[in-house]
Structure formats: C-alpha cells, structure tokens
Structure 1
Amino acid sequence: MANPRAGEVAVILDGTRQVMKLTLGALAELEEALGCDSLAALVARLEGGEVSARDVLALIVAGLRGGGWQGRTADLMAVEIEGGPVEAARLAALLVARAFGEAA
C-alpha cells in the first residue's frame, strides 16, 4: 500500500501494483535524465506546463526506482500502465506534488 504522507504513489504495471517515491537518489537520476543541473531547474521544467511523454516516463522510472524497483527505462517501454498515458501523467504529477510536501 502506498503511503501518501511518505510521498508514495501506487501505479499498476502489467496488472502488478508497484510503489513509486521520489527519494533524493531518484531526484538526482531524474535531474540527469531530463538534463537539469539543479533541483530548482527540475521543478521549473516540470511546472512549465509543457511536460512531454519523455518527462512523464522519466518521472515514472525515477519514482519506481525510488520505490525499490530495479528496472530501467527500456524495461518500461513494453509495460502497460493501467489507465494509459493520461493516468501515467496524472500519477507523475501526483508523485511530484507528494515529493515536495503535498500529501494529496
């Protein structure tokens, strides 16, 4: 079960529930994946209103890795995310909100 107060978000991948969390290590990976040189730059990019599918995928991967998943981005390319791309984007946004203090 995902704990919103701990910044966790649940996602269903190929019918299996996984927990995502943006730990410090996951945020560092995310900065690198998105080419941001600071946490402030990362947040500005995500709040900029033009988040790409690549950004959503990077957020999901970082969150999964922060939750203990050992996979890589390539592993997620063939996985079905329950709810499709719209749900993936919603979960990515929720993950960011919870990482920065909103237990929504």
Structure 2
Amino acid sequence: MPNARRGEIEAEIGGSRRRLVLTLGALAELEAHFEAGDLVELAERFGTGRLAARDLVAVIAAGLRGAGETITDHEVSRLAVAGGAAAYARIVSDLLTATFGGGEPVPAAAGEGGQAAPGGPFAGPPSPFPGTR
C-alpha cells in the first residue's frame, strides 16, 4: 500500500502494480529534463497542463526510480498501460498531485464558483513544506 504522506502512489504499469514516488533525487532529475531552475519553476511547468509523451515517460520513469526500481526511460516507454495515453496522463497527474498537492480550491482565495485561486501552483496560504505551495 502506498504511503500518501510520502507522496507515493501505485499504478498498474506493464502488467504489474508498481509504486511511484518523486524523491528529491527524482525531482532533481526532472529539473534537468525540463531545464527548470528550481522546484517552483518545475511546479509551474507542470501547472500548465502541457506535457509531451516524452515528458510523461520522464515523470513516470523518475517516479519508478524514486521508488527503487532500476529502469530506463526507454524501458518505461515500452511498458503498456490499460487505457492508453489517457491512463499515462492520469498516472502522471496523480503522481504530481501526491508530490506537490493542489487541485483543490483554496477557500480564502477561491474565485467565483469554487474555482482554484489565481496565481499558479503556489497561490493561497503557504505550505509547511518549502517549495510545494
């Protein structure tokens, strides 16, 4: 069972249940992949919702390696997921949400209709975890 407090998720990838987590090392790997200067820039990049297939591979591979698997990006790109491209995107979305939080409106700053507050991924009250919101 994944430990949500540590940012872990589980997903069916390549016919097996696998654990994924973006450790500090995995996040550093993603900073390099996305040429991000820091975690805030990385989170803002993810917040755009625009990721290429190679980006999905990089995030999933980093998450698997963060959980202790020895696997290359190329090997990840060959693993099947039931549900196709949408399922890959959902895995990445779940992993990023577990890592950075988000998705829920910030009550004090929410817009009309309970929409998420303006200001990007770090709007609203500060997180007790630096660099996460």
Compute the TM-score of the two structures, normalised by the length of structure 1: 0.88
Residue 95 of structure 1 and its aligned partner are, at CA, apart by 0.7
What secondary structure, in the 3-state scheme, does the structure 1 residue paired with 2:51 have?
coil
Gaps of 5+ in 1: none
Q: Rg bigger for which structure? A: 2
Compute the TM-score of the two structures, normalised by the length of structure 2: 0.70
In structure 1, the partner of 2:61 is 61
Greater fraction helix: 1
Residue 50 of structure 1 and its aligned partner are, at CA, apart by 1.6
Give the aligned residue type for 1:20: L
Large movers: runs of 4+ above 6 Å: none
In structure 1, the partner of 2:90 is 90
In structure 2, the partner of 1:72 is 72
- Identify which of structures 1 and 2 has the higher relative contact order when contacts are C-alpha pairs closer than 8 Å and 6+ apart: 1
Maintained 8 Å contact 2:10/2:20:
yes
Aligned length: 103
Residue 83 of structure 1 and its aligned partner are, at CA, apart by 2.5
**Root-mean-square deviation (CA), in Å?**
1.7
Residue 91 of structure 1 and its aligned partner are, at CA, apart by 1.4
Residue 72 of structure 1 and its aligned partner are, at CA, apart by 0.7
In structure 2, the partner of 1:2 is 2
Gaps of 5+ in 2: 105-133
